[in-house]
Amino acid sequence: MSESTVMDTDGNFSVEVIKDIQSSSYINKINEFLTQSPYAHPKQSIAWALCKNDAANYFIVLTLKNNHISAYSLIYEHRSTLPGLTKYYVEGGPIVHTLEALPIHLNHLLQSLDPKGLWLKIRPYFLGNDIEIANRYLEQIKFISKGNKSSNYTSTINILLNTPITQIKSNFRRSLKTQLNKASKLGLKAEHCDSEHIFLEFIEAYNQYAKNNHFGYIDKQDGLNIFNHFCKNSRDGCFIIIRESQKLLGGVVLLAVGNRVFFEWGYSSHQPEHRELPLGHLLQWDAINWAKEQNYQFYDFGGYWLERGNDDPINRFKTGFSKNIQSVLPEYTYQLSPIRSKLVQMLLRINFLRK
């Protein structure tokens, strides 16, 4: 397949597959589409792909109507040295102009993949009432959801930013307000940071915490590229830190697209002398203020584990800021080869049990 190929047409719709992202003539149109879409996610931005070390493994599928983008997917192709084991991922997507375009785009997306591959995993960022419609479309095309697996949350927390900041703060839990007052009395200050050196220090601390708690780490070079593109003198993101005597005590990384700011990564020192400090509270309060100042409409806290409720300390921390818990679409999988997929999953489980 060439770098940009019209594959077929479906009524007034056509499909474009773009293999060479950086030189595509569609970049400006895609960026405009993402800015206007209520379903946009930073991990579907072209900048996200170009920040990655393996940027060559990304390609784009566009569904067009009268030469206007109706739906879009940025696909990561995880290649294997063995035939028939290629896996495809659409993180935070597909993104559609209207939900009616979703089934058409999904068919276009599947047509663009190697039928000898293993599976396609997608995670469109649909919220609330849109989920029922999206579920129906996905199930009609034989996508399967694993539901509420521990790694696959089905809720998030949003803060609506179209009210005065004082009103937003008035809705905080009383104990959260107490922690913010404590931060003020202690002289703790959050600051916006453009230093690569400090960001690398943040990655090191974050990755150590991730290792100790068994969750995903940040690739050093990818993280630095994302920081330089999104967070340095940009409205597309922000890196906020707290320091004491030049020592990093905590930080958060925010990424923005469309009308929404996403909390992407966060770390607070767990050293005994820092555990009682309201680091996370102050960092998130500053993040909300930044999102408000940049005229975004929503601040998205990320995953909320509905089944755990407020017994989960992270859940309880987040609901101190907002109780606006919204359902999100879970991850869906389409098995390009059901037999090979089941075999690979069985081998992965065996390997996990051996560790």
Q: What is the largest CA-CA distance in the chain?
A: 65
Q: What is the pLDDT of residues 332-341, one digit of tens each?
A: 999 997 666 6
Other C-beta atoms lying within 10 Å of the C-beta of residue 330: 17
CA dihedral in degrees (157, 194, 50, 332; nearest 10)?
-10
Q: What is the pLDDT of residues 215-240, one digit of tens each?
A: 889 999 999 999 999 998 788 999 99
Q: Give pLDDT, residue 355.
A: 43
Q: Give pLDDT, residue 331.
A: 92
Q: What is the pLDDT along the chain (355 residues), one digit of tens a residue?
A: 444 555 555 568 899 999 989 888 899 999 999 998 889 999 999 999 999 988 899 999 999 998 899 999 999 999 877 766 899 999 999 999 889 999 999 999 999 998 888 999 999 999 888 999 999 999 999 999 875 454 567 899 999 999 999 999 999 999 999 999 999 999 999 999 999 999 999 999 999 988 988 888 999 999 999 999 999 878 899 999 999 988 999 999 999 998 999 999 999 998 999 989 999 999 999 999 999 999 999 999 988 888 888 889 999 999 999 999 999 998 999 999 766 666 766 665 665 444 4
Domain architecture of the chain: domains with CATH: 4-151+330-354 (3.40.630.30), 155-327 (3.40.630.30)
* Alpha carbon separation from 121 to 76, 78, 92, 112, 346 (Å, rounded): 10, 11, 10, 14, 18
Q: SS3 breakdown of the chain: % helix, strand, coil, rounded to 5? A: 40, 25, 35
pTM of the model: 0.89
Place of tokens 């767990």: 270
Q: Identify the three-state secondary structure at position 214.
A: coil
CA dihedral in degrees (23, 24, 28, 29; nearest 10)?
180
Residues 91, 262 contacting (CB under 8 angstroms): no
Closest CA to 256 of 241, 240, 234: 234
Q: What is the pLDDT of residues 37-72, one digit of tens each?
A: 889 999 999 999 999 988 899 999 999 998 899 999
